[in-house]
Structure 1
Amino acid sequence: MIYFDNSATTKPYKEVIDSFLKVTTEYFGNPSSLHRMGGEAEKLLNMGRKQIADLLEVKANELIFTSGGTESNNLAVKGAALMHRKRGNHIVTTAVEHASIKESFQQLAELGFKVTYLPVDREGRVHVKDVEQAISNDTILVSIMHVNNEVGTVQPIEEIGKILKKYPKILFHVDNIQGIGKVPLHLQKCSVDLCSYSAHKFHGLKGTGLLYIREGVNISPLLTGGNQERKHRSGTENVAGMVALAKALRMTLENEKKQSDKLLQIKEALIKGLSELEEVTIHTPAKDSAPHIINFSMKGFKAEVFVHALEEKDIYVSTTSACSSKKQAVSSTLIAMGVQEEEAKSAIRISLSYDNTIEEAHFVIKAIKETVNKLKEVMN
């Protein structure tokens, strides 16, 4: 099997599963309980939080554990907007955000917030000048993803952060769910106030995530009732999941240091092979794009047909983001980039992990070429 759908989810590291099982079976107490077992669970939770904080170069009290990227994004966007609506009701994002951001903004618009959706260029990148031009006296939040989950475009987060630093009333949220472990992002250097992460994107477990909330920033909670996570996110903490998250993050960041060149070589080999096919149009930018994502269209073929044809060869790729793929909707990201609808319908995404190899890349290119020829014969 060749698994090239790592932007949808990654395979958990064995060490991550082992740590989850150990904590689940031996330290299953509620961390809010007063007895010894509760204290042991709380100690593990605090240790995990401290380990993650050190890895991200932030303070432990700036990290909130969540159920994943969608909750982190919802909590950041809605929590910031609702908390600060008295000082302004204008919020800003881009036309190429993940559905969990896009739909959060849509809900806020229904509550009376004014929303600006910034355009992107043909590479899917927002221009810094457009961000600043969108700012008004009522602006309280700007939310922009670091790495686009469909095409891999890296947004100019540091430059945007410098601009927003001049506007202390505005909070800056970054969705770093696809970037962590692949494209470095220093939260302080980029003046980020809120940042979202999801463990299953870096070989952790589904149902676990993080939200960074810069010290001094206040947001409204979405979940209330137990006062856990500094009152930002009530509910009994998933101690085993968060310990596993800490281990997955450490291992992934170690792999980033050791294997980032290898990942880039695999990506370049895939792009070279795809470029040899006249049916292929590559949408991922040649520069300033993540090393693990390649998005391309196959002229004359439906994306779903091609994905299933590769699956027959035990190769797994995807169409749009996993959250939208079953809807069979045309990628709004590609449309925002100026890609024609018919071409967008044939878009396929390959996404890599540090477990993939150059040999797999060569095999997949050969399989894609064989599949193109086979489908041509069927169509004729």
Structure 2
Amino acid sequence: MQRIYFDNAATTALREEVLTAMLPFLRQQYGNPSSIHAEGRAARAAVEKSRRNIARAIGAKPSELFFTSGGSEANNTAIKGAVAALGVKTIISTEIEHACVRNSVGQMQDAGVKSIDLAIDQFGRADLGQLRTLLAKAEGKVLVSLMHSNNELGTLNDIAAIAALCQEFGAYFHTDTVQTLGYYPIDVKQMAPIHFMSGSAHKLHGPKGVGFLYIRQGIHIPALIVGGGQERQLRSGTENVAGIVGFAKAVDLALAEMSEHRAHISALKTYLIDQLQTHFGERLSFNGDWQGESHYKVLSVNFQSELPTDMLLFKLDLAGISASGGSACSSGALKGSRVLSALGVPDELRSLRLSFSYENTKEEIDRCIAALLKIV
């Protein structure tokens, strides 16, 4: 039986075209980009070409893009670097940010930085009215850290409006675009200043283990990882050449096919919602802004069931369907989602996150509905 993968917010399948682009740098062109011989120069050229391509995709300059091991490292570097070098005394974020942001802010709070949790609405969207109030009365330098799309709910924040507010009050703005890079147009030139932005390859059918941190020109922060001084002294360690090349290829493909894939995935999500409502009725509810400004590839749904969420997921897995109870980065802990708790989702409801890719089909949704009818 062909398995069904509905966990694309956790990670995505590596595209064949991406693998093809990577293979030469895993086999023949294996030079170290820091070496001055021919193999090293070829590797360096590949890294810099990839940097230019990804920078162009987000409207940035190549010099503003720094490669990392992924989104978590990028977010850690931005938050801790802003405190260390920019005089940030207050960090404003929400309690439903990704764990790497939440925990980084917590570490900075332990070091004496003031941390403020911005209110969210019933969909998990940041309260920009309160943000304006907080920024207006804040003393000293402020960093606002808000994700573009919540990884569990799909709810979108208006990062252009947030950037404008931060500019108005002289605050720094960091946004995590791990879930939206390659799915929505992002152009840092067309917005008020975004000072830090993170991205990751494996959420858009690229390889795992590579991401980037965008740092606006003129901002300088210290390295989180020290050593050989790679990435212009910001991130030491030999660059993941094959991963970086694959990242750039994945971004190129995602941008070229964005409209087509969005239409396909959006139609699948709409069909799934309709089928769930038809078959489960009042036993069903949804989380996040599922009827409004929400990521088209993510759906968070609650069921009334006597089975705990982990057992629902286990039974779905046995039926050949991969789904999630929330963030894959913490799902192994088998504990309730702090994101859903923050929204007030009752503990007695069983919550699943279903997330899609361009490879999914209507027939797979029909199989999923049939399995859920037997399980829930």
TM over 0.5: yes
| Counterpart selection for 2:293 from 288, 296, 299 | 288
- How many angstroms does 1:267 deviate by? 0.5
TM-score using structure 2 length? 0.95
- How many angstroms does 1:257 deviate by? 2.3
- How many angstroms does 1:148 deviate by? 0.3
% identity of equivalent residues? 37
- How many angstroms does 1:340 deviate by? 2.2
Partner-residue secondary structure (3-state), 1:334 = helix
| Counterpart selection for 2:309 from 294, 303, 314 | 303
Report matched runs for 1:191-340 at 5 Å.
Answer: 191-276=193-278, 277=280, 278-285=282-289, 286-300=291-305, 301-340=307-346
In the alignment, which residue of structure 2 is the partner of 1:354?
358
In structure 2, distance between residues paired with 1:302 and 1:254: 41
Partner-residue secondary structure (3-state), 1:70 = helix
Preserved contact between residue 146 and residue 174 of structure 1 (Cα < 8 Å): yes
In the alignment, which residue of structure 2 is the partner of 1:378?
none
In structure 2, distance between residues paired with 1:83 and 1:342: 45
In the alignment, which residue of structure 2 is the partner of 1:154?
156
Partner-residue secondary structure (3-state), 1:231 = coil
Please say if 1:71 is aligned against 2:58.
no
In structure 2, distance between residues paired with 1:156 and 1:337: 19
Preserved contact between residue 284 and residue 293 of structure 1 (Cα < 8 Å): no
The residue type equivalent to 2:179 in the other structure is: Q
- How many angstroms does 1:100 deviate by? 0.3
Moved over 6 A (4+): none
31-40 vs 95-104, greater mean Cα deviation: 31-40
TM-score using structure 1 length? 0.94
Report matched runs for 1:20-169 at 5 Å.
Answer: 20-85=22-87, 88-135=88-135, 136-168=138-170
Instruction: Give the total of aligned pairs.
Output: 367
Preserved contact between residue 226 and residue 235 of structure 2 (Cα < 8 Å): yes
In the alignment, which residue of structure 2 is the partner of 1:363?
367
Partner-residue secondary structure (3-state), 2:168 = coil
- How many angstroms does 1:56 deviate by? 1.7
- Measured against aligned partners, the alpha-carbon deviations of 1:2-26 in whole angstroms (never above 9, x if no partner) come to 1000111101011212222211212
In structure 1, distance between residues paired with 2:229 and 2:308: 49
The residue type equivalent to 2:67 in the other structure is: F
- How many angstroms does 1:188 deviate by? 2.7
Which runs of 5 or more residues in structure 2 are unaligned? none
- Measured against aligned partners, the alpha-carbon deviations of 1:132-184 in whole angstroms (never above 9, x if no partner) come to 2222022421100000000100012111111111133x210000001112233
Which runs of 5 or more residues in structure 1 are unaligned? 373-380
Partner-residue secondary structure (3-state), 2:115 = strand
The residue type equivalent to 1:310 in the other structure is: L
Give the alignment's Cα RMSD to 1 decimal.
Answer: 1.3
Partner-residue secondary structure (3-state), 2:139 = coil
Partner-residue secondary structure (3-state), 2:190 = coil
